[in-house]
C-alpha cells in the first residue's frame, strides 16, 4: 500500500470561492479508479506555513503510476495545481514491516 500526501498553501484567500472551487476539484480526483480514501483537510498546526493537506492510498506501484498518468490527474495538475498552489511539500510512503 502506498500513501500519497501533500501539504500545501493556495494563492487564494481562506474562505474564498476560489479556495472552495480548488478544493472541490481536488476532491473530484476520487473518481479515478485506483484512488482509495482520498481526504482533504485544513492544516491546524502553527508549526508550518501550509494551510491544507491531501492524502490518498494506492494498492501498489502500478496503481500509483496509473494515477500519475491518468488524464484527470494530469489535467488537474496542469490547470489547477500549478497555477493555484503557492507552495507545497509532497511525500509518498509505504509502511515499514
* pLDDT tens digits along 55-68: 999 999 999 999 99
Asked if residues 53 and 93 have their Cβ atoms less than 8 Å apart, the reply is: no
Which residues, 6 or more positions from 96, have their beta carbon under 8 angstroms from its beta carbon? Answer: none
Asked if residues 72 and 31 have their Cβ atoms less than 8 Å apart, the reply is: yes
Distance, CA of 18 to CA of 32 (rounded, Å) = 23
The pLDDT of residue 26 is 98
pLDDT in tens, 31-42: 999 999 999 999
pTM of the model: 0.92
Domains recognised in the chain with CATH numbers: 2-90 (3.30.70.100)
- Cell digits for 16? 474564498
Distances in whole angstroms, Cα of residue 93 to Cα of each of 21, 62, 67: 28, 14, 15
Amino acid at each position: 500500500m502506498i500513501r500519497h500526501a501533500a501539504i500545501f498553501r493556495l494563492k487564494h484567500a481562506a474562505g474564498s470561492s476560489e479556495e472552495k472551487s480548488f478544493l472541490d476539484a481536488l476532491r473530484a480526483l476520487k473518481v479515478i479508479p485506483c484512488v482509495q480514501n482520498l481526504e482533504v483537510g485544513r492544516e491546524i498546526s502553527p508549526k508550518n506555513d501550509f494551510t491544507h493537506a491531501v492524502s490518498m492510498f494506492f494498492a501498489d506501484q502500478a496503481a500509483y503510476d496509473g494515477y500519475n498518468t491518468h488524464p484527470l490527474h494530469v489535467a488537474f495538475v496542469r490547470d489547477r495545481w500549478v497555477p493555484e498552489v503557492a507552495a507545497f511539500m509532497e511525500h509518498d510512503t509505504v509502511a515499514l514491516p
